[in-house]
Structure formats: C-alpha cells, structure tokens
Amino acid sequence: MPEPVDATQRIVLDAIWALLLRAGRWPTFHELDQHLYRLHDLDAARLLPEMPPGLLHGVNSGSSISIAGTTTIGLTAAGAAATGRARRELDLFLAVVRHAAAVQRDYDPPADQPDRQAVLAAADVAMLLGLSLPEDAALLRRLGAILYTERWGWTTFGGRGTEAWTAAVDREVRRFRNVRDLSTYWELRPKHWLPNAPVPPAARRQAARDDTADRPRGAMGHVDVLVVAALREEFDAALGAASAADPGGPGVSRWQQRDVDGSPYSWGEYRIDGKLRFTVAVARPTHMGGRTTGSFVARLADRLHPTAVAMCGVCAGDPARAALGDVVVGTPVFEWDEGKHSASGFEGDHRQFSLDLHWLRAAQEFDPRGLPAYGDPSDDEALLWFLEQLHRGQHPRSHPARDAYFPSGTWPRRLAQFETQGLIRRESNGEPKLTGDGSDLVQRRLYDDVEGPQRLPFRVLTAPMASGSAVITDPAEWDRLRRMGVRSITAIEMEAATIATVADDRGLPWLVAKGVMDHADAEKDDRYKRFAARASAQVMFALLERLAPATMVAGADPTVNDAATEPTVDPTRIRPTAGTGSAEQKNAVRSAKEYLKIAPFSREGLIELLSAAGYPLEVSTHAVDSLDIDYDEQAVKSAQSYLRVAAFSRKGLIEMLSSAGYSLEASTHAVDSLDIDYDEQAASSAQSHLRVSGSSRKGLIELLKYAGFTHSQAVHGADKAGL
C-alpha cells in the first residue's frame, strides 16, 4: 500500500483524520486548507497534488487543476491506515465489505425490477456489528466516510456525513468476499492511477478463488477533467477545440480511444509549451437529455475519478439578453420544470447550482477575442445581421449585440446607406422597416448560407441557465420562466442541471458553456448550430487552461519571478489576518449562513462545523449565537432528512436528533410535530433488514423492538415483510 514519504505528508493525513473525528465527515478543501495554514503554516493547494497516489480521495496526484473550496477531501483505506489511528474503523470496514459481498450474492431483485441493486443500510450494519445509537453514532459516521472514499463495489451512496447512510452494491464487490486483511484488499482494489498495471499474482489467485473476473484494466484511467457533449456535432467540436493545431502547440497532440463499462471516450494530455497542464476525457452519451446524460456521466465519474466535470454544446438564448453565437456560462443552473402543477398553474421549486467562485470570476473576466471563432464583422456581415434582426421581428437598436456589429459612430452612417440602397425604409419615428428588396435579400442570403457563420463578434455571458426535458419553440416561454422567479434567465437547454447535480454529489467543481444557436422561437433553424458548438468548446477549454494553477504553467523554471506565478486567490479560501477579530468574526458569520443554506444544524453541530473550518471556538460560538436561528425548525428539517434515507422508530429518531446536538426537548418536539406512520416505518425497517440478512419472525420482531419500535409496531413490520 502507498505510504506518505515525509513528515509533512503525515501531518496532512493526520489533519484530515482529525477533522473527520471532529465533524463526523470528511472536510472540504476550504476547511482543510484553513486548518493546515492556521496550525502548521502549510499550503494545501500545493501539498495535496504532491501526495503519493492512492492515499487521498477528492484530489488526484499530480493534478494541475485548481481545487474548489467545496471539494470533499477524504482518506482512502491506505490513507487512513497511514495515520495509525484508524485500526478499529478499518477492521469494521473489512467486515462490512465482506458482508456486502454476501448481500450481493444472495440478493434476488423483484420480478418487475430486474436491474435493481442490493442496498446496504447503516442501521442493518450497526446491528450486524453490535453497534448502538446514539453511543456509537460517531463511529458509524466514520465507517460510512471510509466506505464512501473506497471503491469496493458501491454505485450510489446516500446519507454521507450521517449515521443513516445507505449504499447500493453491484457485482464489483464479489472480488472482496474472502478478504481478511487490508493488504489483500488493497491488492484487489481498482487503482485508477495505474490504468494499465497488471493485476498482482496474489490478487489473480484470490480472484480465481472467488470466481470473479476483473474488468479490463486498460479501460480504466485517471483523468483531471471529464468533458461531456450531448450531440455528435458538439463532441466533434470539443475534440477540435482541444486538439493542438500545430506540433508543440497548446492542446492534445494525440487522442487515445478508451472504454469503461461500455462507455467509450477519447483521452488525451493537454499540454502548453510542452508541459502537461491536465489530462482530459471527452465523451458523449447515446442520446441527449438529462436522463441519459445523468447515468452516463455518473458512471464515468465514478470510474475515472475526475477532478472537474465540464460540458460544452448549444442552447437557446433569450433574444433580449443574448445574440446568436454568444456563449453562456451557466450560473446558476437548474431544472426549469422542477416543481408542482396545480389548478392555478405551475409553481417552480428549483434546486439551483452555482459555479465555484474561482471559476465564476474566471468566466466573468474572460475575453474571447483571441479565440479562432471570434472575428470583427465586415460591412457585409453587419448588413446581414441588421436585416436578419428585422426579418425576425427583433429591434436591432436595442439588441445586446448591436455594439459588436456597429462600433461607435457607425450606426447613423450605415442606416443611411441601407436606406439609400432601398433595403429599408424609415417610419416617422425613425424605426427601420424592411422593404421588399431588403426582405428578398435577407431571405436569399439565409437560404444560401448552409454552412453558417465561421467567425462572429460573440460575447461570453455568465448567466442563469435552465434545463428541461423538451425542446422549446415558443418565445412566450421566456416570460413564463422569468415569472417563476429567475428574472435574468438567459439560456435554455437540456443537460446543464444534470451535470451540476452529478458533480455536486461528488464534491467536484463543474463548468457548463453553451453557445446560442437559436432563440427558442418559430424562426429557429440550425444555421448557427456548428458555430455555437465550436465557440462554446473553445471558450470551455480556454477557461480550463486558466483555471489550472499559474505555477504549473511556469513549471520549474527558476528564471520565472515568484510573484508572477502566484496562483489566483480563491475568495472562498482567504484566511483572516491574525489579530483582526472583527474580520474573522464576519467571515465566521458568513460561513455559518452558507452552511445553513446547505443543511439544517443544531447549535452544537454548527459550532463544531465552524471550528472544523478553522475558526477558534469562541469565534464560532459567537458567530452562531449572533444569528437568529430557530433550532426547533432546524430539528424538524433534520428529522425529515433522516427519514428520507432510513426508517426510524420514534425513540430511534429522537436519539438520532439528540446525537446531532439537539436538546432532548427540541428533538422530541420535532419528531412529534411530524405525521409519521410508525407501522410503516417498522415495515420499511423490517424489509431493509431482510434485504441484507435472513431472520426468523421472532428474531425480526426482537430486532425491531431493539431499534425502538413498540411490540405492536414490530409485529406489524414483521407481518408486512411476509414473516
């Protein structure tokens, strides 16, 4: 197994484990960075990519991509073992993995759901291991944390950071069914950083004994950036934008065709000045749309372990905000059709995802004028653009792209020229209207232009982007979407929210850049499609170049000035200057507010979380107490979140809330305020237990009573489970 090579790396591993002990979950990069800087004067952004491969989860060894502040940084089994402080957790981990292999072997899916996978629930694992709540809740959370960072065969993992986690299990777990020690487990474990490494002889013998055939190692490979394109044209545009135009030029000089679980992708090394900047995989699903894209991206992300996920392609743009050919970098992104239909209409309930602040600033400050797709318009191109706007019923004078086609001082002169040519006529108020000759000219030009534009004076906009499952051709949709609460919505497409969801679930930064090919109106056609796909791909890769740390571009050249190679400061990772208590206090309050937007917390839990982020205890306490927080409401929300991932008795749910730091009074009030059918909870708990192990009726009733259900509830649960 890999080991840290020096004392500094051991400090990093110990810090990650200490933060897990404190908060019951793996820290974010921001929390770890603050902790290492405050206590040890160490820079996490520099140290994490230098760690030996196989020790960390959330960042890949040698990666040059900036780590988002919200990225979860965890330890693998090897990393936990290297701390020397995780012996009990790792022993339990091996026991759970063996149990999961037995569960997967014995699981018989329902006839109407043949693809359904076996589910491993924390409550059942606790009973198996003899753990109890709330006494062993912290241990159960740490066990869940290691199960999440290790690739032992889970496909989906819910309830991270809680003692109510669940894991869906697939056939990959079979290889581990007989492992007894960590070294044997590690030999069998997939190692994405060694895509072509042969399986060790001992592991081959173990696999043969288990009747398990490993998947081809050549199909697995580490990648820094996973790029997804929904359509063939978008995929080709992405490959073209990333390919080096000249030998030794920036980009990928040679693409390798790879495959993982039947999902092909193109893999390459993106180099600048001959130095590796990042590795990239470009892939596309078989169909566009969020449903297909979601499972496709999740499968690749879980196998390739990217550091970031990005998408390029085409979208529809609001004609009041975006011109054809403009590129929209989505933030926030959301599902526009997520909500509730009722007799009074549709009520949106959007789950919005926003760009990491470092990535947002890079997009806001990006100038596309150096890209191959950008070009200043000629007089003829300005004429065609002007006539096309009139043909579409739009107003070129107030159009957002007017300044690009009509630089300062050219508007009056060109309008007079168009009028003299007989292409437009002017109303008494000065409004231009197409003449018959003008209408004929623009329609002929549009009909003849089958290739579409090659270069345009396009803009890069950072704006809200809505995803939906249907193509829209109704211009009234823009007003309806604005009335649903996102007034500055600029783009509509089909996959951005899915990309953000998959990335967010895995703690990864994401980037979606899409070119405007139409305005979602009756006049839409595909004339701008190729350009929009090409421009979006060029913008996306140009941003990815900038988002890699500047020090990686400079390399080890000693002649480069240190100040010039300082990475761009991430506003989310600014450390308050020592002695500036008021500034630190304001930052702590701001952090507390951000945490409360993400999840509910008790007073104790929120103080612990701020302390784990590096704030002194007194600062954390003052910040939390300065906020007007309704902890009764927070307890209700926490109870609802627990019930979404597992079944509980009244007693068990009260104990769970108490272990999260809520008072007994608040916990009891929260549970009793909810309309919970404990008979159904008992039935669900019984069924969950039977999915992972057998039991007699009497034994199942006793287990349910042990979990806090009354005798009548336990009997009902056993009867409902068919025993």
The string of pLDDT tens digits covering residues 500-524 is: 888 887 778 899 999 998 887 766 6
Indicate if the pLDDT at residue 63 is higher than 70: no
Sole residue written with tokens 């789950």:
351
Distances (CA, A) of 445 to 385, 450, 517: 11, 10, 18
Instruction: Give the tokens for residue 55.
Output: 């020790």
pLDDT at residue 479 in the model: 72
pLDDT per residue over 272-327, tens digit each?
A: 888 888 889 999 988 777 777 888 888 888 888 888 899 999 998 888 888 888 99
CB 452, CB 370: distance < 8 Å: no
CB 537, CB 237: distance < 8 Å: yes
pLDDT per residue over 160-183, tens digit each?
A: 778 788 888 888 899 898 888 898
Q: What CA–CA distance (Å, rounded) separates 166 from 504? A: 18
- Whether the model pTM is above 0.85: no
Quick check: helix, strand or coil at residue 515? strand
Indicate if the pLDDT at residue 618 is higher than 60: yes
CB 631, CB 603: distance < 8 Å: yes
For 352-357, what is the mean pLDDT? 81
Q: What CA–CA distance (Å, rounded) separates 290 from 365? A: 29
CB 292, CB 494: distance < 8 Å: no
Distances (CA, A) of 585 to 28, 270, 608, 626: 20, 42, 15, 10
Indicate if the pLDDT at residue 693 is higher than 70: no
Indicate if the pLDDT at residue 85 is higher than 60: yes
Q: How confident is the model at residue 575 (pLDDT cuts 50, 70, 90)?
A: very low
Q: How confident is the model at residue 552 (pLDDT cuts 50, 70, 90)?
A: very low
pLDDT at residue 515 in the model: 94
Q: How confident is the model at residue 557 (pLDDT cuts 50, 70, 90)?
A: very low
Which range (77-81, 199-203, 416-420) has the least confidence?
Answer: 199-203
Indicate if the pLDDT at residue 201 is higher than 50: no
Quick check: helix, strand or coil at residue 327? strand
Q: What CA–CA distance (Å, rounded) separates 452 from 488? A: 28
User: Directed axis angle between helix 678-692 and helix 697-706, to 10°?
Assistant: 120
pLDDT per residue over 532-543, tens digit each?
A: 999 999 999 999
pLDDT at residue 571 in the model: 29
Indicate if the pLDDT at residue 470 is higher than 80: no
pLDDT at residue 485 in the model: 57
For 314-341, what is the mean pLDDT? 83
pLDDT at residue 199 in the model: 40
Question: How much is the mean pLDDT over the chain?
Answer: 79
Look at 81 and 478; give whichever has higher pLDDT. 81
Q: What CA–CA distance (Å, rounded) separates 446 from 92? A: 68
